Amino acid sequence: MIVGVPKELFPGEKRVAMVPDLVPMLKKRGIDVLVEQGAGFGAGHLDKVYEEKGATVTASRDEIFQKADIIVQVRSYGGDEDASKEDLARMKAGQLVCGQSDSLGNAEKAKEFAEKKVNLFSMELVPRITRAQSMDVLSSQANIAGYKAVLLGAAELPKIFPMMMTAAGTIAPAKVFVIGAGVAGLSAIATAKRLGAVVHAFDVRPEVKEQIESLGGKFVEVELDTSEAKGEGGYAKEQSEEFLKKQREMMAKVVAESDVIITTAAIPGRKSPVIVTADMVKHMHPGSVIIDLASERGGNCELTKHGERIIENDVVIIGPSNIVSTVATHASQMYAKNIQTLLFHLIDKEGNFNVDMSDEINEGSMVVYSGEVVHARVRDILGMPAKAKPAESNDTKEA
């Protein structure tokens, strides 16, 4: 069994799907690793280190796709704005591609994989169940995004975060408001609190109040009916425009008093809800900062421009593009661990590749299999009829 690790082609992407330290674990499982020259350089991993750990390094991208049974990537075709479109011609029938392919946002790409009879496993679709936690790339990468968003906000803010009592007077702590208390939001709350800020946070799911308070944050109470706010996999469910309007009205005061706002409210496959309006920004203090982690799908701030730093009413608004890649070493370490766990899930101890489509992980993440689009949500987006579910297997069913 050969796993290929091609260099990422998306502009500015420094992460790599496999790190040298995990190669020996794969080798013990009978899995050989073929790495494209320079693939790990952006994350601080030299070719010679891969070779020392037992991987084979090649300068030929064609060789990677010709020899590998499984291709592992951070951004596979569909999730990289067509940067790797040329790789589609390199792929071979029966090959498995594992990476973030934005299959809900770019469902049409699934048809191209099916036509090539290339199997596609979308890492961002791994279900949020206990058994799959160590494969969950959205959580591992969101952890880093929340951390780095706070540092970015702190660097932009013309104030310091902690309270200081000095001979020159007392400096009040900065006020940070985190919108969305998923993995990224909780990481942002913890980081801002460690830096000494007063942290407030809001989420439409009332059950996260305890998690926010356990990290030292203050939960912003909004008197709305949020009983139906929780969606699939622990994400917030898309809300009506009337709900969002009332939410914005009730949050306006907190927004106006905040020095740094970090927004993380995203719904998989959908446009990000607008929570911070242009009018709210007008009432913020000059020099305040908004870091919009939901900018890739439109943003939680009405004024956000993805990939840009803009100033509106003396407020800095940043829609970071691939913020996780700026912490490429540890982001790659975590992503590679997710990949390694997935490979051990798909490949047995004898080195045989076996995909049980009745398994909840495979059913939820495999988009294309044996020349057919098999993922239920992707089929629905494409207007394809629902596919009959495979019979459950007792030995793969989650306890």
Q: Which of 128, 131, 194, 297 is catalytic?
A: 128
Burial bucket for residue 230 (CB in 10 Å: 0-12, 13-18, 19+): middle
Report the b/e string of 328-343 with b at 16+ CB within 10 A: bebbbbbbbbbbbbbb
Angle, CA of 166, 172 and 178, to the nearest 5°:
140
Q: Which of 80, 87, 102, 136 is catalytic?
A: 136
Residue 393 falls in the annotated catalytic set: no
Supply 385's token pair: 């009829």
C-alpha separations of 96 from 44, 123, 177 in Å: 27, 12, 42
> Using alpha carbons only, how large is the chain's radius of gyration in Å?
22
φ, ψ for residue 310, nearest 5 deg: -125, 165
Q: Which of 84, 101, 139, 239 is catalytic?
A: 139
Q: Measured between alpha carbons, how far is 115 from 112 in angstroms, rounded to an integer?
A: 5
Instruction: Name the helix (H) or strand (E) containing 362.
Output: helix 360-365
Instruction: Name the helix (H) or strand (E) containing 140.
Output: helix 137-156
Please name every residue paired with 218 in a beta bridge, in sequence order, or none if there are none. 200
Q: Measured between alpha carbons, how far is 202 from 284 in angstroms, rounded to an integer?
A: 18
Residue 128 falls in the annotated catalytic set: yes
Residue 139 falls in the annotated catalytic set: yes
Residue 136 falls in the annotated catalytic set: yes
Q: Measured between alpha carbons, how far is 369 from 121 in angstroms, rounded to an integer?
A: 9
Looking from the CA of 37 toward its CB, the CA atoms found within 13 Å total 6
Q: Which of 60, 62, 82, 133 is catalytic?
A: 133
Residue 235 falls in the annotated catalytic set: yes
φ, ψ for residue 362, nearest 5 deg: -65, -40
Q: Measured between alpha carbons, how far is 126 from 43 in angstroms, rounded to an integer?
A: 24
Helix (H, G, I), strand (E, B) or coil at 6: coil
Q: Which of 77, 235, 335, 369 is catalytic?
A: 235
Report the b/e string of 257-275 with b at 16+ CB within 10 A: ebbbbbbbbbbbbeebbbb
- Active centre residues (catalytic): 128, 133, 136, 139, 235
